[in-house]
Homo-oligomer: A and B are copies of this chain.
């Protein structure tokens, strides 16, 4: 009971941070200036904001998928310890940082130096996937409920198997950003969808 309550608080705090980071993303979509609208019309000015929409969508979907997985692993653990709070904090540090590379990408996606923005954007996702991996390694080794059923243990093993793919795939996205910034963003969006559907156990 007490342990449940402690985990509940880590979840509530993390939920707050995830929710705010996702909502702050919208701030980077700037209302077009009156000058721009006078020059090319409002409809055209809104269409020209597509890099902002794309960056918003990709970041939103990725953070949502991370939240779903976060939710999933917390359903398996029933305790927390001090290192866990800090591994979770490291994950939240990178999630909280996301609005900055998102705004940077939105601003510079059509700029000759878009590649630099893509490095930071995919690099932040890589950092998130590494932090998530570390969080799960720690949790799966030390925090599974001692009386976990075999079904739970199987689920944990299955998660471990799936998460093995996270860091290498985001490393690949980071690598692609050196060849094509558009390709690396598209890959990030695909990866979010992939982890959304892959983490979808048959019977559930």
A residues neighboring B (CB under 8 Å): 2, 4-6, 8-13, 15-27, 29, 31, 34, 37, 41-43, 46, 56-57, 60-61, 64, 67-68, 71, 74-75, 81-83, 85-86, 89, 92-93, 96-100, 103-104, 107-108, 111, 113, 116-117, 120, 196, 199-201, 204
Contact = CB atoms under 8 A, between A and B. Distances in A.
Contacts of A41: 113, 116
Nearest to A22: B96
A120 B31 CA distance: 12
Tell me how many chains of this kind the complex includes.
4
Given A26-B24, A27-B24, A201-B82, A13 B13 contact: no
A55 B175 CA distance: 29
Most chain B beta-carbon contacts within 10 A, residue among A5, A93, A96, A204: A96
Contact of A42 (B22, B37, B56, B116): B116
A179 to B, nearest CB: 17
Given A23-B21, A26-B97, A42-B117, A64 B37 contact: no
B46 A68 contact: no
A96 B53 CA distance: 12
A69 to B, nearest CB: 10
A78 to B, nearest CB: 10
B18 A20 contact: no
A42 B111 contact: yes
Contacts of A82: 68, 199-201, 204
Given A19-B13, A29-B100, A31-B107, A116 B75 contact: no
Given A31-B100, A103-B31, A196-B86, A16 B20 contact: yes
* 9 closest Cβ pairs, A-B complex: A16-B19, A42-B113, A20-B23, A42-B116, A13-B15, A17-B19, A64-B89, A82-B200, A29-B100
